[in-house]
Amino acid sequence: MGTYLGDWALEATLTFLHQALDGSNTPVDFTGTGTYRIYNSSGLMSNGTGNLSVFDDSNTTGLYSGSKSLAAADGYERGQTYYIRVQGTVSAATRGTLYSFTIS
């Protein structure tokens, strides 16, 4: 299911934060760029991919943000649940994390 990010308004800009962790669950920066993909029950959303940006780098370690417009034109609908898979590389190993959100 993934960590729930809350309910969002249609046409809002979804913003989420992701903490990258190593195998010991200690915050660490990704090697390279972290990415995300947004799905619904039918599969990958239109324009549903993106790259993560470093968030508040001067005060944090391994904290990233992602942002995506929840446009009806891209197939987002009220009452639906969506899933985000974040992926990045830590110490040459691929790590993935799931999030979910709803639109109301």
Partner 1 sequence: MAYLGRKQLGDEFLVLLQCKTGASVPTAPDACPYLDFWLNGTTLAATVRMAPTEKGKIVGAFHYGVFLDETFSEGYWQAVMRYTLSSVPYQQVDTFRIIPGGHADGPIVAIKEYRKAGANFIVRVTKGGKIKFGRNPQVN
For partner 1, the binding residue among 44, 65, 74, 98 (CB under 8 A) is 65
Cα 82 to Cα 32: distance, rounded to the nearest angstrom: 26
For partner 1, the binding residue among 47, 49, 61, 69 (CB under 8 A) is 61
Structure tokens at 13: 């800009």
CB of 70 to partner 1, least distance (A): 11
User: Which residues sit at the interface with partner 1, rule CB under 8 A?
Assistant: 3-8, 12-17, 19, 21-22, 24-27, 55-56, 59-63, 65, 67, 99
